[in-house]
Structure 1
């Protein structure tokens, strides 16, 4: 029996929980507009994680090409998708009563968020290699620059910085490059 359909179900469940966390939080802002004020940088990171989740699911279809699955490869792939659930949950905890709002919460938890985002980038490189060296090499320089080296360094800087301008730049950087990736890969820009 082929292993990937079973693996895809587990990945889909964790991805669904991640999306549900983001969607539930977004709807809370509509349901209770005066309860907690959104913070625009925080909300842009939520949009960025939403894009990442959509792309993760799209790219993981390439895992169907792996004919022989091992438990370590399965374990790694599940851990990789769990990082996205962690990111979504770090953006939107069950409550923020201990904080003045989402801005205060975001900056107080930035080390966790950006540490996990850096780990996610490392996992992405390993996941790309899991799909084959040929696939890895086919992605070219934008992938190598943004996903691996630069993004990880920027995450490390973000862990240490509370500078609002830097964080505005960073979330813009992440979203811009993600949209460029989508355009380059799917619309042949």
Structure 2
């Protein structure tokens, strides 16, 4: 249990930085309403990432069931959560002075955003397997198919420049994530 405590703290710190970064970036719209106007698609991706981070933390509770830890499993999980932090910093850079607004910024960085989000969907498969093959298989077909479809949608998101497509895409991601969480995790953990 002592090894898990160490891992739990590293995950918690990085996850806390990620959430704090999203919150700090969003609050700037309230603090300075006349500087830069929000862009709805960008804000919805922020909401999606916030939801994803909370989901990640819930999902990682299953790490308590791992009896034998290895360095590369630990290292992988640290890289996985670090990837989420980088995604959050891409959503909210230190400044956007080089861009007209958040719409311009989002579309100029969509390759990085969707590329790293794609990495997260691939990493999620391995993260689920770290928790054990029984745990992986109890999801049935949904986790591998879900991650493959979301990965493909991210790759399409890199190429497509249409604001309407990106708005529809983020709405789809949020709705699916909420349904996925509700169906699979809305049960108490022992």
**TM, length-normalised to structure 1:** 0.96
Counterpart in 2 of 1:37? Answer: 37
| Aligned length, in residue pairs | 187
**How far apart, CA to CA, are the structure 1 residues paired with 2:5 and 2:78?**
14
Counterpart in 2 of 1:136? Answer: 136
Counterpart in 2 of 1:71? Answer: 71
Tell me by how many angstroms 1:140 deviates. 2.4
**TM, length-normalised to structure 2:** 0.95
**How far apart, CA to CA, are the structure 1 residues paired with 2:139 and 2:103?**
36
The two structures, once aligned, show a CA RMSD in angstroms of 1.1
Offset from partner CA, 1:91-143 (integer Å, 9 cap, x none): 00000000001000000000000000000000001100110111111112332
Counterpart in 2 of 1:56? Answer: 56
**How far apart, CA to CA, are the structure 2 residues paired with 1:29 and 1:171?**
20
**How far apart, CA to CA, are the structure 2 residues paired with 1:123 and 1:74?**
13
Counterpart in 1 of 2:24? Answer: 24
**How far apart, CA to CA, are the structure 1 residues paired with 2:79 and 2:49?**
16
Q: In 1, are the aligned partners of 2:125 and 2:143 still within 8 Å (CA)?
A: no
